[in-house]
Structure formats: C-alpha cells, structure tokens
Structure 1
C-alpha cells in the first residue's frame, strides 16, 4: 500500500452497535473537517463488522483483528484494552509506520479542521482527568517505584496521542505491556479494584499510557504538549485554534453521547445549531446524515 497522506488516524471498532455508531461520528468528522485530504483513517476492526464499515471508501484502511480482551487473556473483563492492544502488533505496525505521524484515539471522537495540517514537532497528549486525587498520585508513584520506572511527576496523559509514528508504535507496545502489569497488580478480586476518581482498575489503560510516557522520559515528556487532545464534548465554548480533537466523554451534560442515544435531543432542530461551538459541533455531526456530510465536503462518492 502506497500513500501520500502524512497522518494515520488509528482506531479500533469492536463488534457492537454502539461502536459502529461511534465510528460513524469520527468518520463523518474526518470527512467534514477536511482531514480526509491529508490523513487516512486506519480502522482496525472485529472481522464480523467488516460488512458494516466503508472499507472501500477513499482514505479508509481496514485491518481485521479479533479483540485482545477475551476470556483467558491477561485483559479478560477489561474491554477498554481493545482500543490499545488491537492497534499494536504485527498485523498493524508495518501499515502504521508508512505514515510520518499517527494519531491513536478512540472511535467516539470528533476531528476538527485544525488537525488537517497539524503535524507537531513533539508528542501531543490527551487530557486524563483521573490524575487529580492524592490517592491516585500516591499509588501511581508507588507502582512505578516497585517496577523500576522513574515517574518524573507528569500526571494525566489522557486517552489519545499524536506524534511521529516511530514514537507511537513502540509506545503502544509499552502501553499494552504496562496495562497487563497493572491489571495483574489489581488482581482478580473486585474488592481490590478501587473506585473512581481514586486509584481505579477501570482506567488502567490510561495509567499505562502515563507509565509508558514516563518510561520513555525525554522523548515524550520533556517537550511534549500535555492535555491538548480529548477536549470534552460538553464544552460550550467556541472551537478555537487549539481544538484539534473532541472526545465524547462520560457525562450527562450536553453534548452527551448517552443522552443523545436516549433521544434527549430528538426535538432539537439540527439546522439551528451553531457548529462553531464545541458541543453543538458534536451534536450536528452525530445527527446529520452521512450523505449530506459527504456532499458538503466534496468527498468522493
């Protein structure tokens, strides 16, 4: 496969109606924002959903992969690991390295036009809101000390990462490694899994990203841009020049993916939405038919 695109946007789509809906959100935003002209959407997917994905469309690169979080695996019961472990390994690494830059992210995101030509000199991290409590910080530092990692006191890597591909590919391997270590450390008894927003098994994949970044030291932290990606979908401010990427986070506040699915916004006239605002941009993209998006963006039909 030859490509002249400079960015690969890597996501995983599992075999679920929810994830297929979320894929449509990032897909529509990738088209509408113009990112389809400079990047490819690398869709690592469960083989059983291939028929439901636009794998023959311009700029879509499909890679089938079964989930890693399956019974008997180190990630059993932790399905969040699929979005990391499935975009790392022999089935995808050579494809990923064909792009100068990679954005590893989740499917439930919305890209903006600011990303079209944004190719950063240093790694750009997402926003992780897990890092604020003293209990978390104490246990993170303790875990790193027990496993021989110098932490550097940089907390809150977040879910997504944009950097040069030669940095992202090994980073994902280490993130997978550290997530397995964390899950073993939490053990099999739910009584020891903690609770949000303290030290909590449920966000181990983000903890693993923080540890992988700390382990890599200067390559990720010395000049890296922190808490830039994963702007929250509930923000009601304008899309300014630093909003590259919006995440449909867990919230009931507009724009909420949960409330959207529950029909809470069904009476809203989407033609009256102001898509220069973060929350309304997300809602408009989620609700606007794909064919309308393609026409507006002059995307090849």
Structure 2
C-alpha cells in the first residue's frame, strides 16, 4: 500500500511540475504518507475526488470458542507424557521436548511411525489432562524423520464432542448459497466429517443465518463419490484469513447418506452411533 501511494505521489508531482500547479493542490503529501506508515493507517476512497484516512486497528482479536470447548487454564505441558499429532489422515504419538511461546517441538515416540519426509501442513495436537481431552490447531512442520515442530494458531480447548468423526486430508468441496437467481459458489475444503456434519475451511465469510448446500468429494484410494446436503453453520473460527466452520447437515437424502457411510467405513473401518459434528 505504501509503495502504491509513493508511486502515485511521485507521478502526480511530475505532472504538477509540467503544468505549474502549486503543491497545495495535492490531496496528500509525502509527510502524510510517512505518517500513515508510522501510525499504521490506510487510505479508503469514498469518491473519485475525496479520500478519507482511517486507522487500521492492530489490537489482537479475542479468540472465539471452537465447537463447545473451554479454554485451558494454566496446564504445565511438560507434565503431559504423550501428545497425539494429527496431520491429514496420519497420526503421530510424540512427547514434548521444548516449548517456545506458540512453538512446540515434539519427539516421536518409539511406537510411532516416522513422518516419511518433509511436512508442511495444517494439523491438530491433542492430549489428555485430568481425564479431559484438549486440542489445538496450527501448522505442522517436519524436516527430521522423528522430530516435529508445531506452531499453534489457537489456544488449547477442551474437547466436548461425543460423536465419531473422521479426520481426512483436505477434500474439495463447493458451498452454494441458496438463492432464487444466480447463487454464489464458494470453494472450500472438508477437514473432518461424520454422518451428521463436518468441519470445513474456506477463505470466504458465510452468513450463519442462511442455509447452504455443500457439494463434497469423498476420496480415498480408488473410492470417489460426490455427495450433497443442506447445512447450517453452528460455529466459526478465523485463523489468519481462513474461516473454519462447524456445520450440521439439516437435509440429506438416503442416497447421499449411504455415500458418506461407505466413505467412513473405508477410512475408519467402522463407526459408532453419531451425534452432531460440531
């Protein structure tokens, strides 16, 4: 933004020199630009001839609750013997070796398989403390075969979901807003899924009050099915420009339900009685 303003200012200055226009006619000066940089301001154009400078609020947003979990209190992570790191459809059991702010460094336990190569994916870390399960979301990085670095993007949250759900690698999906004319189509990814709902990731903001149609691709090995369902949003979490939504299937046909059931059996092997997946 600053580069654009400086470039615009310099070009207008050259035009003014040629046309012998006084510098007071400029809508903003180089001093204004530097002040905007210092105060973290941006330029918002209201019309062709007028501009309004408004501040960018840099204060940290309060993290909203994911699902129905509660945030952890002061838990000493060094006292936790085992963590479960989930990345796509793979799971690794590890112990914490170092904690630096939001950076957690794990060493894989002997019974856990090696990562098999370099990883740079979004994932989840969970553990049990006093009989309760806690989890967090973030980025998983791995360069060494048995060492993983996890960068937390949310605080640890108490897990209260009781349903059986399946974590998957990102499955492509389309979100269709129900309208009379020209419905909007939004690209999304399915992060995990159950018989009655899913967790999706998208870069677009969805209206929690409106029903949507999801058209998702269920892919595992040679199995590939496309299902559709009408859903409503139960919760939302924003992480660095990505929006994570917990959704519940409000309307789904028996045929589409069978597709999800077959997918769950292939991925998980078996599934039990399910509740709402949010």
Q: What is the TM-score of this pair, normalised by structure 1?
A: 0.23
Larger Cα Rg: Structure 1 or Structure 2? 2
TM-score normalised to structure 2 length: 0.24
Q: Which has the higher strand share?
A: 2
* Structure with the larger helix share: 1
